[in-house]
Structure 1
Amino acid sequence: MTHRAGLARDEFGLAGFRDFAETILSVRGDRPARHHVALIEALERVAEGAIDRLMVQMPPGAAKSTYASVLFPAFWFARRPESEVIAACHTASLAEHFGRQLRGVIAEHGEALGLRLDAGSRAAGRFGLVSGGQYFATGVRGPITGRRADLILIDDPVKSWAEADSRSARDALDGWYRAELLSRLKPGGRIVLIMTRWHKDDLAGRLGRTEDGWTVLRFPALAEPDDPLGRAVGEALWPEWENAAAISRKRAAVGERAFMALYQQNPTSDSGQQFDVDRVVLITEVPPVLRTVRAWDLAASVATPGRDPDWTVGLKLGRLEDGRYVVLDIVRVRERPTDVEQLLVGIATKDGVGTAIALAQDPGQAGVAQIEHYKRRLAAFQVMSSPESGAKMTRAMPAAAELGSGRMMVLRAEWTAAFLDELQAFPNGEKDDQVDALSRAVITIAKLPALSRRIDLSLLGR
C-alpha cells in the first residue's frame, strides 16, 4: 500500500484515527460510511482519554469489528507503543482472528506507524512489540491471570441464542467480567464493548443497569425517531451494503424478537412478564422521601449442596411527595431462624424508628405466634402485619402498575442487578422473594400516614 505523503500530525504525534483508518482502508477501495465515522470519532475520544467506557451496539454486518477490533488497536499502539491490550471474544478463535488481522496491519504498515513486531512472538493472538507493547487475545471466561491492560476490547461476547437465553451463561459472563477481567485493568485504563444485542439481560444490558459512566453508541438497522445519525425513520444503517427492503425481508424471516434484538439493538421482554423493567428509573442519589417502609419476605433455610432454598428479603421502599416510589435498599440472605431474627432487629435499628416494618403472617396459629414474637422484639418500631391473600401475580399488580407508569425509581447498588433480574423473570423465574417483598412494601406504604416533614435519610439509625 502507498501511504499518503506526510500524514497530518497532531499533538499526540500521529494523525487522527479517521485519517489513519481511511489511509489503511484505501488500498482496497473502502471508505468509512456515516456510522463508521461516528464510531471513529468515539474511538478517537477513547484514545484521547475523554471516554473511558464505550459501548458500541450495531447489527451484524455493520463492520464494527473492523474499526474497533482491528484498526483501533493498531492506532492505539501507534500512540502508546509500550501499552498492553487484552481483546476478548465469545471464543478464543474469534479473538485470534481479529488478532491475526491486527498483526497483519502492523506488519504491513509498521514503518509508517513507528511500530515493529517482536520477532520472538509469532502467535496470531498473542504478540509483542519491540517497544514493549503487548497484545493478548482470549475467549470470554478464558484465563487471563498475570495479564494487565491499558485497553480492554470485548467484541461479540455472546455466541448464540441458546447462550443468550441461559441465565447461568449470562451470570458466568458477568462474573468473569467483574471478578477477573476488570481486575486486569490498570488505573486509568479504558474499556470498549462491541456487540450486537441479544437479550435484555446480556452484558450490555447488565452494565447499563448497574454501572455509571458508559458512553453508548447505539445504531439500529432501521432508523427510529430521533436517530443519532439524522436518518429518516425506516432508513437503513448502511444502504450501500444492505438496503431497507433487504433488512425488512430479514425481519420477516428471523421473527420479531430476534429482529428487535439483533438488528434494532432493542431486545424485548419475553411474553408473560408482569414487570416492564425498561420503565425503571435508575438513580444514584437518594431524593427526599415522605415515608419509608421495610417489607420482609421471610425464609429460614441455609443453602447446602443440592438445595436452592428461598431467600429472606428485606426491601426498603420510600415514597416521595409527588407520589413516586424509590427502592432504597435490599437485604437478601439465607440464614437460620435465629440469625434471621437477629438480622431483622439489627436492620430495624439501622433504619431507625421512622421506617415502618411490614411482615407477612403465615397461616395458622404458628404464624400468629411468630408475628407476636417479632412485635415484642421490635416493640420500639411500627410493625404492620397481615396474612398473604390472593395469588402472587395479583398481589404484585399494584407494584407492577407503579413501575409500568414510570413512577418507580431504584437506587444503583450492588443488589440492583439481581433485583431487576428477578422482576424481569417474574412470574416465570426461579425465585420471587424480592417480588413478594416489593409487593408488600407498595401495599403497606400506601397505608402509612404522611409525616409532617421529609425524612432526612442520613439521620435515620443514628
Structure 2
Amino acid sequence: MVLMPPGSAKSTYASVLFPAWWFSQHPASSIITASHSAFLAEHFSRRVRALIIERQQCLGFCVSKDQRAADHWTTSCGGEYMAVGVRGAVAGRRADLIIIDDPVSSQADAESPRQRAYVWEWFKSDIITRLKPGGRIVLIMTRWHQDDLGGQLLSQAQSEWRVIRLPALAEADDPLGRPVGAALWPEWEDYGALTRKRQLIGERAWSALFQQTPLPSTGRLFSIDKIAIRPTPEPGAINTVVRAWDLAATGNTGQNDPDWTVGIRMQRNSDGRYIILDVVRLQGTPHQVEELIVKTAHKDGKNVIVAIPEDPGQAGKSQMAYLVRQLAGFHVVSSRETGSKATRAMPLASQVEAGNISVAAGDWNQTLIEEMRDFPWGHKDDQVDALVRAFTTLTGRPGMAGPVPVSIFNR
C-alpha cells in the first residue's frame, strides 16, 4: 500500500515504471491494473506499453505485434496486461499482480457511504477473486476518508499489508529519514508553499490528502454549526472578561511546525452567554512568548483577567513568578491542567451545543472554527486548550473541566 499526496509522482512510479520492471522480472506473468475509471486505467496502460516499446532493447522483450487496444495487450515473452475501471468486469481473467491506482475519484465519492461500500464490495468480489495463488496486490492512493478502501483494509487486514506512507510534511520516524516538517518534494513545493496550501484547504483536507491520516467526519466534540459569528459583540451586560493562554516555546524556523502560543479573550454576559472576542497566536521563543503576554495584557486593560497555565515543577513556578512580576497591577490566575483534553473540553462543548457560544467577526475566525471542528483528532489543539481555559475561568467550575485555579492578585 503506497499512500502519498497528490502530485507526488506516485502513479509514475507505481503504475508506469513498476509494471515494466515487473515484466522484466516475471516475463510470463499477467497484470491487471484498475482505477476509479476505465479512462484512467487505460491511460496508465498506454504509458506502460509505450515505455516497453521504447526500452525493448534494454528489457529484452517487446509488445506483441498488432496490440493496439488500450485495455488489453500482451508481450513477446508471454506477459499479459489488462486495464479496467472500478465498474469494469474482470470475470474470466486471472493475475499474478493487481495494481489499484486511485480507486476514489473525488471527495464526493469518498464522503458517500454508498460509493465506499461499492468500492469495498468490488475489491472483495471482483479483485481478490482474480488473484492467482501467490499473487500480489499493490494499492496506490491518496487517502480521502477513514473508511475509504485503504482505511478498510488497514482496519480489517493490516497484517497482510506492507504500508509505505509518505506525508507531504515529514512526521516523527519518517520512512525516508527526513527531519520533522521537511517537504516530500521541496523542489516542487517547499515548506512555505505547503503551509499556504494547508491554510487554504483546511485541516481536515490537509490531514487526509497530504498527510494520509484522514480525520473522522462524525463524532466530533464541538457542534460548530451552533456557533454564530457576529459582526459586533452581542448586547447585554458584561459580567467578566478573561484572556486565557496556552503556552508553547519553540520558534518557527521555516522548516518545522511547532505548537502555537495562543491567547483567547472571552466574555461572559449576565444572561449566561459567552462571546469569543479575540485570538492572538505566536510560534516563538520563550522570550517572545513572555513579551506577547505582557503586551497583550496592557492592550486589553486591567479589567481583563489573565489566565495562564502553570507547568509542574520548579521551571513552571519560576515562569509564573516572572510573569506575575511583569504583570503588576493585573489580576493573574494560574492553574495546572489535569485529565484528558477531551474531558476538560466537555463543559464548553455543552455550551456550544446549547447555542450559548458566539464569536466576534475577525480574521482569526476560520482557523479557530476549523480547529474546534477537528478536535480532538486535529493536527493542532492549542486554540481549543486556551478556549477551554478561558471558559473554565469564567464559569468558576474548575472541578468539571480539570484544572484548579489559584488566583494571584497584583492590585
What TM-score do the two structures reach when normalised by structure 2?
A: 0.53
Name the counterpart of 1:99: 45
**Matched residue of 1:136: which SS?**
strand
How far the C-alpha of 1:273 sits from its partner, in A, is: 4.3
CA distance in 2, matches of 1:270, 1:116: 48
CA distance in 2, matches of 1:56, 1:65: 10
- Tell me if 1:249 matches 2:196: yes
- Tell me if 1:58 matches 2:4: yes
1:173-184 to 2 correspondence within 5 Å?
173-184=119-130
- Tell me if 1:265 matches 2:236: no
Instruction: Kindly provide the CA deviation profile for residues 77-118 of structure 1, in whole angstroms up to 9, marking residues without a partner as x.
Output: 111111100000111111111111101111111121011211
Equivalent residue in structure 1 for 2:77, among 116, 119, 131: 131
Equivalent residue in structure 2 for 1:114, among 60, 66, 72: 60
Aligned-pair RMSD on alpha carbons?
1.5
Name the counterpart of 2:142: 196
How far the C-alpha of 1:186 sits from its partner, in A, is: 0.1
Give the AA of the match of 2:143.
R
**Matched residue of 1:135: which SS?**
strand
Give the AA of the match of 1:167.
P
Give the AA of the match of 2:211.
Q
**Matched residue of 2:118: which SS?**
helix
**Matched residue of 2:55: which SS?**
helix
What TM-score do the two structures reach when normalised by structure 1?
A: 0.47
CA distance in 2, matches of 1:271, 1:162: 16
Instruction: Kindly provide the CA deviation profile for residues 251-300 of structure 1, in whole angstroms up to 9, marking residues without a partner as x.
Output: 111111111000010100125347xxxxxxxxxxxxxxxxxxxxxxxxxx
- Tell me if 1:156 matches 2:102: yes
Instruction: Kindly provide the CA deviation profile for residues 178-220 of structure 1, in whole angstroms up to 9, marking residues without a partner as x.
Output: 1111100000000000000000000000000111310000011
Paired residues of 1:81 and 1:131 also in contact (CA < 8 A): yes
How far the C-alpha of 1:224 sits from its partner, in A, is: 1.3
In terms of Rg, which structure is larger?
2
Name the counterpart of 1:448: none
Total equivalences in the alignment: 222
Name the counterpart of 1:213: 160
Calculate percent identity across the aligned residue pairs.
Answer: 56
Paired residues of 1:97 and 1:125 also in contact (CA < 8 A): no
Equivalent residue in structure 2 for 1:224, among 171, 178, 183: 171
CA distance in 1, matches of 2:211, 2:28: 38
Name the counterpart of 1:442: none
**Matched residue of 1:164: which SS?**
helix
1:23-42 to 2 correspondence within 5 Å?
none
Give the AA of the match of 1:186.
K
CA distance in 1, matches of 2:30, 2:175: 33
Paired residues of 1:219 and 1:237 also in contact (CA < 8 A): yes
1:367-446 to 2 correspondence within 5 Å?
none
CA distance in 1, matches of 2:211, 2:24: 34
Equivalent residue in structure 2 for 1:76, among 13, 22, 38: 22
Instruction: Kindly provide the CA deviation profile for residues 121-170 of structure 1, in whole angstroms up to 9, marking residues without a partner as x.
Output: 21123211122211001111311111110000000110001000001100
Check 1:264–1:143 CA distance in 2 against 1; reply closer, same or farther (3 A cut).
same
Name the counterpart of 2:292: none
**Matched residue of 2:62: which SS?**
coil
CA distance in 2, matches of 1:184, 1:272: 37
CA distance in 2, matches of 1:120, 1:133: 15
Instruction: Kindly provide the CA deviation profile for residues 221-240 of structure 1, in whole angstroms up to 9, marking residues without a partner as x.
Output: 01112222222221101101
Instruction: Kindly provide the CA deviation profile for residues 311-364 of structure 1, in whole angstroms up to 9, marking residues without a partner as x.
Output: xxxxxxxxxxxxxxxxxxxxxxxxxxxxxxxxxxxxxxxxxxxxxxxxxxxxxx
Check 1:271–1:184 CA distance in 2 against 1; reply closer, same or farther (3 A cut).
closer
Paired residues of 2:169 and 2:191 also in contact (CA < 8 A): yes
Instruction: Kindly provide the CA deviation profile for residues 382-404 of structure 1, in whole angstroms up to 9, marking residues without a partner as x.
Output: xxxxxxxxxxxxxxxxxx99xxx
Paired residues of 2:37 and 2:87 also in contact (CA < 8 A): no
CA distance in 2, matches of 1:270, 1:203: 16
CA distance in 2, matches of 1:273, 1:243: 32
CA distance in 2, matches of 1:132, 1:228: 36
Which stretches in structure 2 are left out of the alignment for 5+ residues? 222-341, 344-411
CA distance in 2, matches of 1:61, 1:261: 14
Paired residues of 1:57 and 1:216 also in contact (CA < 8 A): yes
Which stretches in structure 1 are left out of the alignment for 5+ residues? 1-54, 275-399, 402-462
CA distance in 1, matches of 2:62, 2:184: 37
CA distance in 1, matches of 2:32, 2:165: 23
CA distance in 2, matches of 1:161, 1:129: 37
How far the C-alpha of 1:174 sits from its partner, in A, is: 0.4
